[in-house]
Amino acid sequence: MGSGACPALLHLVVEIYLRLLAERNTSSLRFLLTLKDLNLLTFECTVLNVSWRRAIPKGIPPLNIAQKQTNKKTPCQRGPALLERYAVRRLPFARLGERDVAFFERLLPGRALTAQEEVKPFNVDWLKSVRGCSQLVLKPQTTAEVSQVLRYCYEKNLAVNPQGGNTGLVGGSVPVFDEIILSTALMNQVISFDKVSGILVCQAGCVLERLNEYVEEQGFIMPLDLGAKGSCHIGGNVATNAGGLRLLRYGSLRGTVLGLEVVLADGSVLDCLTSLRKDNTGYDLKQLFIGSEGTLGVITAVSILCPQKPKAVNVAFLGCQSFAKVLETFTTCRAMLGEILSAYEFMDEKCMELVERHLKLSSPVADSPFYVLIETSGSNSSHDEEKLNNFLEQAMASGLVTDGTVATDDKKIKRLWSLRERITEALTHEGYVYKYDISLPVGKLYDLVDDMRARLGQSAKNVVGYGHLGDGNLHLNITAESYSHSLLDAIEPFVYEWTARCSGSISAEHGLGFKKKQFIQYSKPRGAVVLMQQFKAMLDPKGILNPYKTLPSAPEWGLC
Ligand SMILES: O=C(O)CC[C@@H](O)C(=O)O
Ligand SMILES: [Zn+2]
């Protein structure tokens, strides 16, 4: 053992011992197991049910000591830090037993995964920032199978983590403890497509990009598009009410989803899978499930309205000298492009620097403090090009824009879009990323980035701002070499207080998941949260569906 490792190991031993003592739940067997394999730390500690915040004495480093010792970045080092931060305890669900596994193996032959290597990727989120310790992944193919799984889990009080493409950014799609993972990966069939109305009905596990290709062949497109389209599932998109890059033009899923089929916690099937544009018969129940992040039911099928594939698409990529100019360019382009405007995205110079450095993409325009991506979608290319050119002439002449390029062919359009779409990916190369997805009055969008940058100074590596300016949605991302409590303390609750002062939303499109649920009060009044708790209690009385997510768990929130 190298000389540097001894104090680190000692700290680890002391820390775990103190935690176990604090819990009065000492098990020497578990203790030894934990020490044997540092990578299993998350698993062991979460199973032990430790209330970390209470147990960690000041001055003793948290579990990222494992990182220091192995000098290797593993996802598990971040799990305990989050559990500590949110003081989450395992709820008294049943633990998975051999009989349960045998039941699921009979129900889903070859589709009940228990081998550690097979289960592992389902336990970790895409960002590798949270990790659960589920021992079972179920892959049903039909609604009837989902229903049987949930009926059994409900009866046996087994917690369930519904999972789509696992591309979420708030820790909502992976288990926190040992919840059974219910994956929609094999529910990937198109049920019907009506070429006259453009209404698509499909199973929840269809991958967004595959669906887009499917409807494109028939002259339509999906009403939403996002960077994760190659992996995300439509059911997951609906469950999180994903926004994405086309929202400015086609609106949110709350408008384009026409019907849903949902399996409730007790296994009963709620068939609201209608394909009607208009239906005012009673309450619109599907809205409850859109954006509920799998906490109220498991979405098994979706009916969705697809717009016509535009005949002409253009993309302009422009450089602006200030954020004020980005805003003025937006006002001008809205006025001049009107109905053909389909996206207005922005990014700052730091984002460009990172996509250039890490992804080897090159900027098509001269260095600028801000960049804007404008997309037009219409039915007449010469009409659209004329409008776009008039707008660009005016924007250049009035100094709103200092440099720019326009693309009309598919290949170049994709290249320009990837500069914006792949920022998330570029940021992951920088170390640990603190992510904030904020809705604000559009004029104030970048003030938060400036204020945060000034506040954090040298303690952060990068503070960047980009996002869906046309929707008033900022993605504020902060990076550091590794996760640190003190940096998080400098960011939160400052970022939420700042947002609340402007009557913004602390989650514009990513949901609350595990990481943001404790902050819901910054965007919703107490009465609204209590009503949400009541809906949850009514639809899922045992709380087995995606526990520890979306709704705050502290007792002061009443029902929980
Ligand atoms: O990584 C993020 O913070 C944003 C991801 C996504 O919503 C985007 O718009 O690119
Ligand atoms: Zn986004």
How many residues does this entry show for the chain?
Answer: 560
pLDDT at 81: 56
Q: Which residue puts its alpha carbon closest to atom 1 of ligand 1?
A: 424
Alpha-carbon gap, residue 221 to 81, rounded angstroms: 42
Which ligand has the shortest distance to the CA of 439? 2
Which tokens hold the place of 272? 């609201």
Q: In this structure, which residue's CA is closest to atom 7 in ligand 1? A: 244
Per cent of the chain over pLDDT 70 is 83
Cα 329 to ligand 2 centre (Å): 20
Residue 10: is its pLDDT beyond 70?
Answer: no
Position 83 scores a pLDDT of 66
Distance 467 CA to ligand 2 centre (A): 6
Instruction: State the pLDDT at residue 555.
Output: 55
Mean pLDDT of 30-55: 27
**DSSP H or E segment with residue 153:** helix 143-156
pLDDT confidence band for 553 (50 / 70 / 90): confident
Q: What are the beta bridge partners of residue 131? A: 124
Task: Compute the distance from residue 226 Cα to the ligand 2 centre, in Å.
Answer: 7
With 80 as the cut, is the pLDDT of residue 341 above it? yes
- Separation CA 289–CA 294 (nearest Å): 8
Check pLDDT > 50 for residue 21.
Answer: no
Mutate to test the pocket of ligand 1, among 428, 432, 510 (most ligand atoms within 8 A of CB): 510
Pocket test for ligand 1, best of 127, 128, 169 (most atoms within 8 A of CB): 169
Higher pLDDT, 219 or 35: 219
Residue 200: is its pLDDT beyond 70?
A: yes
For ligand 1, the distance from its centroid to the CA atom of residue 116, given in whole angstroms, is 31
- The closest ligand to the CA of 229 turns out to be 1
* pLDDT at position 337 over 90: yes
Q: Per residue, what are the HEC states of 186-199?
A: CCCCEEEEECCCCE
**pLDDT value for 57:** 23
Ligand 1 center to 237 CA (angstroms): 14
Peptide bond preceding 493 in cis form (omega within 30 of 0): yes
Distance CA 326, CA 469 (A): 9
CA gap 230, 425 in Å, rounded: 14
Mutate to test the pocket of ligand 1, among 127, 167, 226 (most ligand atoms within 8 A of CB): 226
pLDDT value, residue 7: 42
CA-nearest residue, atom 5 of ligand 1: 424
CA atoms within 13 A on the CB side of 537: 10
- Tell me the average pLDDT across 167-184: 97
- β-pairing verdict for 180-183 and 137-138: parallel
What rounded mean pLDDT belongs to the chain? 87
Domains along the sequence of the chain with CATH: 5-86 (no CATH), 107-309 (3.30.465.10), 312-423 (3.30.70.2190), 430-521 (3.30.70.2740), 522-557 (no CATH)
Which residues share a beta bridge with 260?
272, 302
* Each residue's pLDDT tens digit, 220-267: 999 999 999 999 999 999 999 999 999 999 999 999 999 999 999 999
Indicate which atom in ligand 1 lies nearest the CA of residue 243: 7
Residues 6+ apart with CB under 8 A from 386: none
Whether the bond into 525 is cis, omega within 30 of 0: no
Ligand 1 atom with the shortest distance to the CA of 245: 9
Burial class (CB in 10 A: 0-12, 13-18, 19+), 374: buried
Q: What angle do CA 186, 190, 196 make, to 5 degrees?
A: 165
> Closest ligand 1 atom, CA of 509?
7
Which ligand lies nearest to the CA atom of residue 347 in the structure? 1
The residue among 64, 45, 67 whose CA lies nearest residue 55 is 45
Q: Which atom of ligand 1 is nearest to the CA of 473?
A: 9
pLDDT at 253: 98
CA distance 279 to 174: 35
Residue nearest to atom 2 of ligand 1 (CA): 424
Ramachandran angles phi, psi of 260, nearest 5° = -140, 145
Tokens 């792949």 correspond to what residue? 422
Between these two residues, 296 and 39, which has the higher pLDDT value? 296
Ligand 1: which atom is nearest the Cα of residue 437? 3
Half-sphere exposure at residue 23, Cβ-oriented, CA atoms within 13 angstroms: 21
Three-state SS at 378 = strand
The rounded Å distance from CA 369 to ligand 1 centre is 20
Element (H, E) at 506: none
Measure the CA–CA gap between 98 and 102, rounded to whole angstroms: 6
Considering only 155-159, 442-446, 539-543, 551-555, which range has the smallest mean pLDDT? 551-555
Within 10 Å of residue 489's Cβ, how many Cβ atoms?
11
Give the residues surrounding ligand 1 with Cβ less than 6 Å away: 169, 227, 424, 435, 437, 467, 475, 477
Residue 405 has pLDDT above 80, yes or no: yes
Please give the pLDDT value at position 85: 67
- Specify whether the CB–CB gap between 471 and 341 falls below 8 A: no
Distance CA 447, CA 498 (A): 10
What pLDDT, on a 0 to 100 scale, did the predictor assign at position 84? 65
- Per-residue pLDDT reduced to its tens digit, 115-126: 999 999 999 999
Looking at the predicted structure, is the pLDDT value of residue 431 above 80?
yes
Q: Is 110 helix (H, G, I), strand (E, B) or coil?
A: coil
Residues 6 or more apart from 117 whose CB is under 8 A from it?
none
pLDDT tens track for 46-102: 222 222 222 222 222 222 222 222 233 333 334 555 666 667 889 999 999 999 999
pLDDT value of residue 11 = 46
Select the more confidently predicted residue: 271 or 25: 271
State which H helix or E strand residue 383 sits in.
Answer: helix 381-397
Closest ligand 1 atom to the C-alpha of 467? 9
Pocket test residue of 246, 371, 424, 430 for ligand 1, highest count of atoms within 8 A of CB = 424
- For ligand 1, mutation pick of 433, 475, 507 (most atoms within 8 Å of CB): 475
DSSP single-letter state for residue 206:
-
Q: What is the pLDDT of residue 469?
A: 98
Cα of 341 from ligand 2 centre, angstroms: 18
Residue 464 alpha carbon to ligand 2 centre in Å: 14
Q: What is the pLDDT of residue 97?
A: 98
